[in-house]
Amino acid sequence: METKSNEEQSDIAVIEGFDSKSANELSIILKRFLSSYRNKEKNISDREWLKNQFKIELPELSDSEVEKLSEECFEEIDTFDKNLKSINKTIENGGTKEGWLSKKVQEASIGQSINEFGNYLRIIDDSITESNAHMLRVVTNKDGSINQNINLDGFIAEQYHVNSFNMNAALNRSKHRAEVLVPKSGETYGKNSFDVVIRNTSNGKIVHQYQMKYGATAQDTIRMIKKGNYNNQRLIVPPEQLDDVREAIPSKTVESELGQTYKVKNNGKSFGKDNAKEMQIKVQKDGILIEENWNYFKTKELTLSIAKNAYIAGIQAAAITTGLDMVRGVISGEKFEVDETIELALKTGTDAGIKAAATGAVKVGVEKGIVAVIPKGTPVGVIVNVVCIGIENVKILGKVATRELTMTQALDRMGRMTTSMVYGLGWGATSSLVGAAALAWIPIVGPVLGGFVGGMVGYMAGSKFGEVVYNTGKKIANTAEKVVSRTVDKVKSKAKSLKRAIFG
């Protein structure tokens, strides 16, 4: 087997905190754990074995701590396997990954708002915070007192529509943002000036301008519009007045929400004159400002977006073969005899013990500072997911080699795994707070570390199997780039029809 020189090895280390030295040290622990598991006495359960191994490797932990660690490890592996089995069954029965995730999240989120969920959702969180700040500016005077303007509801409507657009633009990763055009200090509103504009944030150019007219009745709104000259402006009116205004002023583009051109809508939440007036009364009379929160977003819409992005991330992960390259550097021509225990586990799927042993090894590596890329004290459930995906990928690559799966089918399986993992971390037993923290670094670290662990397990099943995994992994990387590109295009072009098919 061809191996790489030390100089070549140094080029592989692309993640700070997990370099070739870390990989060498972790491989020793992995071999020790897997060898111990293979040679354990038959009358000792897997849980008892792992507890004893933790006690040997991490003697500073108490008996209760190692017992808890062992139990959590197997519980999380069981959760991962059940979620993966569940999403596969859904798809085999004609369902979709988005539908599966949406249903699971809704079940888990009953009575709860959706928590912060990784870097992507932090952007949405920021947009909500910004929206609330803008609304506060609208309803208060400079001295902090409540604005008692009789027409405050109109200003509230303006800001509400802008907030609605921007929060959903963040959700959909749109480059467009809306803003209320407020006169500078010392200036006044110009006659027929724009109320709201939508800008392309990549170049700052205005792509649409709007005039907001919220009369008490459709007739009042029509009268207000006819008194002005709003050329090159779209009109936003209360949804209950939309048909009447359109009929009365057919020459103008009249809408009830911003951004329909960009398919960034407010998820069906209409904001009528009564809504605006109700918010005005609550602010002026009771000092109550209605703030937006995670419940603003429909769970289905949010999970649809998460599922699409998780799936793409899973396919992209297949293109990262750094972990497999690191394995070849570590073994340096070492020959592994066929290990029937590991080989059988990988081929039959009865691999909970192998996953537990690998997880235990990585957990020890983390706590000893060997795998510094993962913070010490990281819950074992997070590590389980990284390890399980790595081992599942090895099993998939093995099936590609035997032609049980095509390259495209393999990538689809990898995408499903990531989707199910996102649910497990975000709303599973480890709690969504753990998921949010973990998902900030898993997309970067996970594929490399998981690939390394999976590759090591593959070689320990026998050098022949390990070589098959490595060679197939290198081949699948070329297919992955093409499939990712097609998938992204497909998501963009068919998002509307897909959403209709799933949600009606």
- Kindly state whether residues 410 and 333 are assigned to the same domain: yes
- Kindly state whether residues 174 and 263 are assigned to the same domain: yes
Residue 412 lies in a domain: yes
Q: Which residues, in sequence order, are CB contacts of 448 under 8 Å at separation 6+?
A: 14, 15, 18, 320, 322, 323, 326
Residue 22 lies in a domain: yes
- Kindly state whether residues 131 and 173 are assigned to the same domain: yes
Q: Which helix (H) or strand (E) holds 397?
A: helix 380-401
The token duo for 365 is 């590596």
pLDDT at 443: 58
Check: CB of residue 363 under 8 Å from CB of residue 380. yes
Cα–Cα distance for residue pair 405/394, rounded to 1 Å: 13
- Kindly state whether residues 180 and 311 are assigned to the same domain: no
- Kindly state whether residues 274 and 359 are assigned to the same domain: no
Check: CB of residue 391 under 8 Å from CB of residue 454. yes
Cα–Cα distance for residue pair 209/194, rounded to 1 Å: 6
Cα–Cα distance for residue pair 74/351, rounded to 1 Å: 11
pLDDT at 471: 87
CB atoms within 10 A of CB 233: 21
Residue 19 lies in a domain: yes
pTM, 2 dp: 0.64
State how many domains the chain has: 2
Residue 168 lies in a domain: yes
Q: Of 277, 296, 315, which residue sits at a domain end?
A: 296
Q: Of 270, 296, 322, which residue sits at a domain end?
A: 296
Domain assignment of residue 191, given as a range: 120-296
Check: CB of residue 161 under 8 Å from CB of residue 177. no
- Kindly state whether residues 463 and 419 are assigned to the same domain: yes
Residue among 129, 104, 495, 113 nearest 298 (CA): 113
Cα–Cα distance for residue pair 448/386, rounded to 1 Å: 9
- Kindly state whether residues 202 and 277 are assigned to the same domain: yes
Residue 277 lies in a domain: yes
CB atoms within 10 A of CB 327: 25
Residue 1 lies in a domain: no
- Kindly state whether residues 402 and 457 are assigned to the same domain: yes
Print pLDDT tens along the chain (504 aa).
333 333 333 334 446 678 888 899 999 999 999 999 988 988 999 999 999 999 999 999 999 999 999 999 999 999 999 999 999 999 999 998 888 887 887 676 554 444 444 444 455 545 555 655 666 666 677 766 766 777 777 777 788 888 878 877 876 778 888 888 875 555 445 555 788 889 888 888 988 898 889 888 999 999 999 988 888 888 989 889 999 999 999 988 898 888 755 555 554 456 778 887 877 787 777 777 666 665 556 556 666 666 776 777 666 666 567 788 888 888 877 888 888 888 888 877 778 999 999 999 999 999 999 998 888 888 888 899 889 988 998 899 889 999 999 988 888 888 888 888 878 776 665 544 455 555 556 656 677 888 889 889 989 888 888 888 888 888 877 676 666 556 555 544 443 443 333 223
- Kindly state whether residues 158 and 88 are assigned to the same domain: no
- Kindly state whether residues 264 and 361 are assigned to the same domain: no
Cα–Cα distance for residue pair 405/422, rounded to 1 Å: 24
- Kindly state whether residues 320 and 286 are assigned to the same domain: no
- Report residue 354 CA to chain centroid gap: 28
Give the bridge partners for 180, in sequence order: 196
Q: Of 296, 318, 346, which residue sits at a domain end?
A: 296
Residue 475 lies in a domain: yes
- Kindly state whether residues 465 and 369 are assigned to the same domain: yes
